[in-house]
Amino acid sequence: MEHLTSRQNPLIKYIRSLRQRKGRERESRFVIEGVRLLEEALRATGRPEGWFCLETVLFSPDLSHHPRGQKLIAELAEREVKMYTAANELFPYLADTINPQGIIGIVQRTNFLPGRVFTPEVEVFNRFSESLTKPLILVLDRLQDPGNLGTLLRTAEATGVSEIWLTPGTVDPFSSKVIRASMGSIFRVPLRTEVEPSLISNLGQAGVRLVATSVDKGQPYYQSDFCGPTAILLGNEGSGLSSFLTQKSQEIITIPLGGEVESLNVAVAGAILLFEARRQRESKNLN
């Protein structure tokens, strides 16, 4: 196994290039770090849908001194993932965390779901119509905070969301901060990026009810019926949902607030709405 020691090594330079969104989009690859995320990526690599493939791993020789690290290295070798050992001083240079754990992986997006070439009527709705589960889609419009997006990915998995759609201008879901905040959910929830608002508006024509969210307009969320095919639309942290998507929605809902609170964090609001949808669906055995 090759041992890497220099910042000038081509692989080290390549990993550094993937810290930039432009590099990630060009290569259809992103970087993960830490034992837990490597474990999640390895599990994702074996799934039949084939969204992701853990391609290359760098680890510190010190990692083999810990039982969990030793087990991970053995599993990586068994799965024939390409591996290198690397000098400890390289990990602060490559990692995005303050105290790196001594293991970094390159993940390839192998069967990505791009919004740009997406035909809703043909692809998604035929598939959902053949399923016993009615679709629950979460649309995120121009979210900017990586922590919010990562948290919503995690909440979406917990509440049984069918897919997440991101409009242009949304923070990169494959940035290190989003991936860490998702706690591995990024590998398990179907995700589409760069979905144009005009395609989202077509959901209504395909039988999916668009439910827009607002700080101060609409009916209380608990009066809405989330049991049918539904898309919940959440907007930008500062400006909210675009006027175009709001106008194209069949319903507008709000979360009634007490005291002098004017609004909730978008990840908190999303969690309230998604768990309400899950509650309603479970009561009717739709999940």
What distance in Å separates the CA atoms of residue 185 and residue 70, rounded to the nearest whole number? 24
Give pTM, 2 decimals.
0.91
Of 114 and 246, the one with more pLDDT = 246
Same domain membership, residue 145 and residue 69 = no
Residues spanned by the domain of 200: 120-286
Same domain membership, residue 104 and residue 124 = no
pLDDT at 33 over 50: yes
Same domain membership, residue 196 and residue 63 = no
pLDDT category at 173 given cuts 50, 70, 90 is very high
The mean pLDDT value of the chain amounts to 91
Same domain membership, residue 278 and residue 191 = yes
Note the pLDDT of residue 111.
61
Same domain membership, residue 211 and residue 168 = yes
Tell me the range of 50-64, 100-114, 137-151 where mean pLDDT is highest: 137-151
pLDDT in tens, 233-271: 999 999 999 999 999 999 999 999 999 999 999 999 999
Note the pLDDT of residue 99.
93
pLDDT category at 122 given cuts 50, 70, 90 is very low
Same domain membership, residue 202 and residue 278 = yes
Note the pLDDT of residue 287.
60
The full 3-state SS of 169-219, as one line of letters, equals CCCCCCCHHHHHHHCCHHHCCCEEECCCHHHHHHHHHCCCEEEEECCCCCE
Same domain membership, residue 84 and residue 180 = no
Note the pLDDT of residue 116.
39
Note the pLDDT of residue 284.
87
Number of domains in the chain: 2
Query: Which among 201, 204, 189, 194 has a CA at the least distance from the CA of 166?
Result: 194
The one-letter amino acid at 11: L
Report if residue 133 sits inside a domain.
Answer: yes
What distance in Å separates the CA atoms of residue 262 and residue 245, rounded to the nearest whole number? 22
What distance in Å separates the CA atoms of residue 76 and residue 38, rounded to the nearest whole number? 9
Interior angle at CA 55, CA 51 and CA 58, nearest 5: 135
The one-letter amino acid at 95: A
Report if residue 114 sits inside a domain.
Answer: no
Report if residue 115 sits inside a domain.
Answer: no
pLDDT category at 130 given cuts 50, 70, 90 is very low
Note the pLDDT of residue 244.
97
Same domain membership, residue 140 and residue 83 = no
pLDDT category at 14 given cuts 50, 70, 90 is very high
What distance in Å separates the CA atoms of residue 135 and residue 124, rounded to the nearest whole number? 9
Same domain membership, residue 129 and residue 60 = no
pLDDT category at 113 given cuts 50, 70, 90 is low
pLDDT at 133 over 50: yes
Report if residue 175 sits inside a domain.
Answer: yes
Decide: 149 and 143 in contact? Cβ < 8 Å. yes
Report if residue 75 sits inside a domain.
Answer: yes
Note the pLDDT of residue 66.
94
Same domain membership, residue 189 and residue 64 = no
pLDDT at 18 over 50: yes
pLDDT category at 125 given cuts 50, 70, 90 is very low
Same domain membership, residue 166 and residue 197 = yes
Residue that finishes a domain, picked among 109, 140, 157:
109
Report if residue 207 sits inside a domain.
Answer: yes
Report if residue 242 sits inside a domain.
Answer: yes
Residue that finishes a domain, picked among 109, 131, 155:
109
Same domain membership, residue 209 and residue 148 = yes
pLDDT category at 209 given cuts 50, 70, 90 is very high
Q: Residue 80 belongs to a domain with what CATH number?
A: 3.30.1330.30
Q: Residue 201 belongs to a domain with what CATH number?
A: 3.40.1280.10
What mean pLDDT is predicted for residues 3-9? Answer: 98
Residue that finishes a domain, picked among 109, 135, 153:
109
Report if residue 17 sits inside a domain.
Answer: yes
pLDDT category at 112 given cuts 50, 70, 90 is low
Task: Give me the sheet containing 219-220, strands edge to edge.
Answer: 113-114, 191-193, 163-166, 136-140, 230-234, 209-213, 251-254, 219-220
Least confident of 45-54, 73-82, 191-200: 45-54
pLDDT at 50 over 90: no
